[in-house]
Amino acid sequence: MKTLVLSPDEAGLARAAEIIRRGGLVAFPTETVYGLGADALSAQAVTRVFEVKGRPRFDPTIVHVAAPEEVRTLWKSIPPLAEMLMQRFWPGPLTLVLPKNRSVPDIVTAGLPTVAVRMPAHPVALKLIQAAGRPLAAPSANRFGRSSPTHHEHVLSDLDNQVEAVLAAGPTTVGIESTVLSLAEPTPRLLRPGGTALEALRELLPALRVDAPTGPSSSPGTLPRHYLPRTPLFLLESGPPEASGEYLERRRCGMLAFKEPWQAFGRVERLSPAGDLREAAAQFFAALRRLDAADLSAIVAEQVPEEGLGLAIADRLRRACSGRARLVGERVWIIR
Positions in the binding site for Mg ion (CB under 5 A): 140
Nearer to Mg ion, 62 or 334 (CB): 62
CB-closest chain residue to ligand AMP: 221
Residue 136 CB, shortest distance to Mg ion, in Å, is: 15
Residue 28 near residue 167 (C-beta atoms within 8 A): yes
Q: Which does 109 bind (CB under 5 to 8 A by kind): ligand AMP, Mg ion, none?
A: ligand AMP
How far apart CA 151 and CA 134 sit, in angstroms, is 24
Residue 61 CB, shortest distance to ligand AMP, in Å, is: 5
Count CB atoms within 10 A of the CB of residue 328: 13
Residue 77 CB, shortest distance to ligand AMP, in Å, is: 16
Q: How far is CA 315 from CA 209, 227, 304, 328, 336, in A?
A: 17, 10, 10, 26, 21
Nearer to Mg ion, 311 or 327 (CB): 311
How far apart CA 16 and CA 203 sit, in angstroms, is 39
Q: Which of 274, 268, 273 is nearest to 256 (CA)?
A: 268
Nearer to ligand AMP, 39 or 177 (CB): 177
Nearer to ligand AMP, 170 or 216 (CB): 216
How large is the angle between the packed helices 310-320 and 277-292, nearest 10 degrees? 20
Residue 220 CB, shortest distance to ligand AMP, in Å, is: 6
Name residues whose C-beta falls within 8 Å of residue 134's C-beta, 6 or more positions apart in sequence: 20, 21, 39, 40, 41
Nearer to Mg ion, 292 or 332 (CB): 292
Residue 221 CB, shortest distance to Mg ion, in Å, is: 8
Residue 179 CB, shortest distance to ligand AMP, in Å, is: 10
Q: Which does 114 bind (CB under 5 to 8 A by kind): ligand AMP, Mg ion, none?
A: ligand AMP
Helix (H, G, I), strand (E, B) or coil at 239: coil
Q: Which does 192 bind (CB under 5 to 8 A by kind): Mg ion, ligand AMP, none?
A: ligand AMP
Q: Site residues (CB under 6 A) for ligand AMP?
A: 59-62, 97, 109, 112, 114-116, 139-140, 177, 180, 191-192, 219, 221-222
Q: Which does 112 bind (CB under 5 to 8 A by kind): ligand AMP, Mg ion, none?
A: ligand AMP
Residue 290 near residue 296 (C-beta atoms within 8 A): no
Nearer to Mg ion, 140 or 196 (CB): 140
31: left (phi over 0), alpha (psi -120 to 50) or beta: alpha
